Amino acid sequence: MSVCLQIEATRGPARAGRLITPHGEVETPVFMPVGTLGSVKGISQDVLEELGVEILLSNTYHLFLRPGVETVRKMGGLHQFMSWDRAILTDSGGFQVFSLNELRKVSEEGVAFRSHLDGSARFLSPEKAMEVQIGLGADIIMAFDECTEYPADAARARASMELTLRWAERCKRYFEEHKAEVPWKSSRQPSAVSRQGKQVLRSAGQPRAAVPTGKNQALFGIVQGGMDPELRRESALRTIEIGFPGYAIGGLSVGEPRELTRDVVLSTLEHLPSDRPRYLMGVGTPEEIAFYAQSGVDMMDCVLPTRAARHGLLFTSEGKISIKQARYAKDESALDPACDCHVCRRYSRAYLRHLYAANELLAQVLNTVHNLHFYLVTMRTVRAGIRAGLAPASGAS
């Protein structure tokens, strides 16, 4: 048993339910905040817990380069290292290798690239990406795929899809042979988690109390195929044939028009099994995540709420606000009067504008808290809508 989806209500193609992971349950459809380097920029883990975050995403590529998988493994895995008891998903590193490295060299074996930090030569293959992700110890890990560039001609899109399928088989083989090496299964170290009390329990030589024995990481497959619906269909069917406990739609948000993203997602969803989690990678605005959740996607992630927050762009019930604008300099109203996050309850637009203009660190913190809250509430509302209009799901688990 690794990860499974319990569907509790459906409305049209949308589903609401629970993703059961080794580190707790996650209400779906879910938005996963991005903690690139084992940290959601500007936000401490206790604030993430207060916001109700049940799963976050971290990037294999960045952790592989810094601090390196051996450090994280020795610290008992990413949960223990970053003091996060709830679920984590790591991506495979594929997307970052393709987006951050112009000098990458792709071969059948894997991808050679140079670190964006110091220029050192690095290599990621399906096996290496599995080894690193097992060492990091996220609950859900992703197959190493080639993210097809946009635009790509038909021959290139097919060749890339075929490579991703061969890599998916290698990922699964390596994962099945090595999944017992996940650090939270063998950890006997005192935990950094909640040092006030739990440490006593763990330093007595107990494994993590939160992780029942017999639980494994889950490896998800990724559907590629560029922007061609027929290739997407083939990629979905052949990835399902290899067999994974969950499926992701990858290779989107690579510069294509938004309508094309939507068409590719909707056509791909039709081919994914209804009893497995469906994860749409790297999408999107609040409107888009609501739309995709209502279309049958269970999991999404995006850097948009956190990255936009650091640039003073805030999502509100009245639309997007650029808090740097002078018009807010004497605005006593709450950032979003309809929002009940602790930023909107306490501070004025004028104060937030001042913090941003003065380049205060607190500006980034408060802006990020609000944007994450807004995204999480967006998904909460979608879930409530699915449950309210619901017919009980039949036999899905």
Minimum CB separation of residue 48 from Zn ion in Å reads 15
* Catalytic residue from among 139, 145, 298, 301: 301
Q: Shortest gap between Cβ of 342 and Zn ion (angstroms)?
A: 8
Nearest residue (CB) to Zn ion, 105 versus 346: 346
Shortest distance in whole angstroms from residue 286 CB to Zn ion? 13
In DSSP notation, 292-319 reads HHHTT--EEE-SHHHHHHHTTEEEETTE
Question: Distance between CA 85 and CA 319 in Å, rounded?
Answer: 34
Site for Zn ion in 146-175 (CB under 5 A): none
Number of neighbouring beta carbons within 10 Å of residue 361: 9
Q: Can residue 297 be called a binding residue for Zn ion (CB under 5 A)?
A: no
Query: Which is closer to Zn ion, CB of 64 or CB of 328?
Result: 328
Please indicate whether residue 153 is annotated as part of the active site: no
- In angstroms, what is the minimal distance from the CB of 134 to Zn ion? 38
Q: Which of 264, 339, 355, 363 binds Zn ion (CB under 5 A)?
A: 339
Asked about 301 being catalytic, the answer comes back as yes
Q: Which residue has the tokens 């497959």?
A: 221
Token couple for 52: 């109700």
Task: Tell me: does residue 51 bind Zn ion (CB under 5 A).
Answer: no
**Pairs from 385-392 (Cβ < 8 Å, separation ≥ 24):** 385/11, 385/294, 386/9, 386/10, 386/11, 386/14, 386/15, 386/16, 386/29, 386/293, 386/294, 387/8, 387/9, 387/16, 389/11, 390/9, 390/10, 390/11, 390/16, 391/9, 391/10, 391/11, 392/8, 392/9
Distance CA 317, CA 222 (A): 33
- Count the alpha carbons within 13 Å of 2 in the hemisphere toward its beta carbon: 21
Nearer to Zn ion, 78 or 289 (CB): 289
Task: Provide the residue count of the chain.
Answer: 397
Nearer of residues 339 and 386 to Zn ion, judged by Cβ: 339
Closer residue to Zn ion (CB): 160 or 378:
378
- Is residue 344 within the footprint of Zn ion (CB under 5 A)? yes
Segment contacting Zn ion by CB under 5 A, of 33-41, 114-122, 344-352, 355-363: 344-352
User: With binding defined as CB under 5 A, does residue 283 bind Zn ion?
Assistant: no
Q: Which residues bind Zn ion (CB under 5 A)?
A: 339, 341, 343-344, 370
Active site residues: 91, 301
